[in-house]
Structure 1
C-alpha cells in the first residue's frame, strides 16, 4: 500500500475509533441516569403506586436529572454525527480503492460544533435529519474487487452492507404498516373497531395515506405487528451497523496492502 493510501486507511481507522468512543459515551450517559435514580423508587413502584408517581415527578424535575438527561441527548446526537460521517467515509474510500483511483485528499467529517457545545437546536437538527445517514447507505459490491469471493474479509464487508440495506428498508417501510381505523357498530359488544374503508377510485397505497391524513386514529394491524417490530429494530440498528461496516472496511483495506 502506498503512503497516500496508508494515510487514508489510518484516517478511516481513526474515524472508526472516534465513532466507537462516541457510542461508549452514550452508554456512560445512560448509566449516569440510572445511577442518580433514587433507590427507594423501586420499592414504591409496587407498594405505593401513587407515591411512586409523585416521587418520579419530583425526580425528573430535579436539576440533577435535567443535567444528566441533557448530557445523554447530547451524547446521542454526537454519536449519530460520528456514525454517519464514518459510514460516508468508509463507502467513499472503499469505492475509490476498488476502482483503482487515487486516495481521497480528505475524508468526510462529522458535522459537530466546536468544543463541547451541544445546544438543543443542534441536537434537534441531528435527530430530524438522522445526520444524513440514510443518504449514504452502501450497497454490496465494491469489496468484491479487492479479494476472492471466499475471502472472509470480503464477505464481512458484504454482509455489513446487506445489514445496512435492511436498516434502510426498515426505515422506509415503518410508516406503511399503519392504517386508519374507526368504530365498528356491527361488533357484538358495540365497541369494536375496523379499518377505514378504501376510497373508491384510488389505489391501495394512496387510499391508505389519504385515510391516515383524515383520521385521528391509527394503528398497526395485529397481523403485521411482527413485521413492524422487525422494521423498527432494523432501522434503529443502523448506527451500530454503520460502525460494523466501518470496521469491516478498515480490516479489508489493511489486508489489501
Structure 2
C-alpha cells in the first residue's frame, strides 16, 4: 500500500463529502435564501462537483496506467478580488462540469482494463455522464422557429402544436441549424412536432449530470479503496478548492451595492472626478513615449493607453457604487480626492518625463554645468554647445579645450561620458 495513494484517496474522499454537502446546502437555500447567497451556494456546488469529478478521473487514469497518483488533485482556484466574476463564470458554465465528463478515450481505457464488478460500475456511470453531455449538446437542436395559429392563443397552446413550421434559410434545410435559430423566419420557438419524448429524455439526462458526477466519483473511490488500500477506507484528508466555502457564502462573495437608478449631483461629481483621473493616467504612456523618442512604436503606446483606460473603467464600475453610498456631500468625497490626484498626475507627468528622458543639453547642465563645472569656463552661460553625429560638442567662449561628450541623444537615459583624452583630462582637473 503506497502512502501516496493513501493520501490521494483521502483527499478524494474529502472532495466527495464536500460535493454532497454543497448539494444539500444549495437545496436548503433554494426556497428561503437570499438571491446572492443562493447563487453563491449553487456556484460552490457546481465547482465542488467538478473538482470531485476531475479528481476521480485523474486518480482513475493513474490507477489504470499503473502510475503514481498526482501530487495534487485538481481543485478550483478562487482569486481574491474577482470572486463575484468567478461566481458568474461558474454559474454560466456549471463550474466546468461538462468539460470534466470522461471522453471516449477514457472509456476505451476503462474497457481495456481487467474486468471486475467495481470497474463495471465505474464504466456504467461514465456512460451515464456521456449521456448527460449528449443531452446538453443536443437538447437545443430540437427547437424550431414556427408561426403561431392566428386563431389560437399562446395560453391554450403552450407547445405551439396549432402553428406551422417557419420556412428555413436557403441552403440550410435543418430547422434546428444555428443560423435558422439565430435568424428565425417565424415569430416563436417550439419543440419540433413528434420529438417531445426525445426532448424529455435529453432534458432528464442533462439534469441528472450532478447526481451522476457524484455517483461516478463514489464508484471510483470504492474501486481505489478496494484495489489500492485493501478495502480499508481512509479518513477524509485535506480539502482544497471550492468545498472550503460551504456555508460561508457571504464571506466568499460579499454583497456589492448596485449603481443607483438616478445619480445625485454629488454622485455625478464623484463619477466625473474618477473619470478625469482615468483620463490623466491614460496619457502617461503617450507622454513618456513622446519624451523617450518612442513615437515610432505608437501601436504599443496606444495599446498601453487603452489598457489603462479599460482597467480604470473596470475599477470605476466595480468599486465606485460602494464609495458613493454616503449621503449629501459625503458622496462627493471620492470624486474630490480623485480630482486632486488627477491634477497632480496631469501636471506632473510632463516634468517627470522630461527629467528621466532629457535631451543632451539638459543632461549636460544637470550632470556637469550645474555641478563640478559650475565655476569654470564650461558653465552653462559661458559655452557654445552643438550636437553632431551623436556627440555633444562644448566650446568655451573664453577659450579652452573643446569637450566631446556622448551619447548625445534625445530621450536618452545614459549619462554623458568623455569621448576623447582631452575631454577626460579637463573633467579630471575639475574633479568630475
Fold shared by both chains (TM-score > 0.5): yes
The answer for the alignment partner of 2:180 in structure 1 is 211
Rg larger in 1 or in 2? 2
The answer for the alignment partner of 1:247 in structure 2 is 218
Cα distance, 1:4–1:213 mapped onto 2, change above 3 Å = same
Q: Which one of 39, 44, 57 corresponds to residue 73 of structure 1?
A: 39
Tell whether 2:48 aligns with 1:82. Answer: yes
| Contact preservation (8 Å) 2:148, 2:188 | no
The answer for the alignment partner of 1:199 in structure 2 is 169
Measured in 1, the distance between the counterparts of 2:70 and 2:9 equals 10
Measured in 1, the distance between the counterparts of 2:190 and 2:152 equals 19
Tell whether 2:202 aligns with 1:231. Answer: yes
Measured in 1, the distance between the counterparts of 2:177 and 2:10 equals 50
Shift of 1:112: 4.0
Correspondence 1:1-257 to 2 at 5 A: 1-30=1-30, 33=32, 68-112=34-78, 120-139=84-103, 140-144=107-111, 147-148=114-115, 151-183=116-148, 189=151, 192-204=162-174, 208-215=177-184, 216-257=187-228
- CA shift digits 1:61-103 (9 cap, x unpaired): xxxxxx5333222111100000011111111110111011221
SS at 1:180's partner residue? Answer: strand
- CA shift digits 1:192-242 (9 cap, x unpaired): 52111233333526x743222222421112411221122122112111111
SS at 1:135's partner residue? Answer: coil
| Contact preservation (8 Å) 1:98, 1:145 | no
Cα distance, 1:111–1:233 mapped onto 2, change above 3 Å = farther
- CA shift digits 1:96-125 (9 cap, x unpaired): 1101122111100124467xx996533221
TM-score by length of 1: 0.75
Measured in 2, the distance between the counterparts of 1:112 and 1:245 equals 25
- Bigger Cα displacement from structure 2, 212-221 vs 83-92: 212-221
Task: Indicate the structure with greater helix content.
Answer: 1
RMSD across aligned C-alpha pairs, in angstroms?
2.5
Cα distance, 1:199–1:69 mapped onto 2, change above 3 Å = closer
Measured in 2, the distance between the counterparts of 1:147 and 1:250 equals 17
SS at 2:10's partner residue? Answer: helix
Q: Which has the higher contact order (CA 8 A, sep 6+)?
A: 1
Shift of 1:164: 0.3
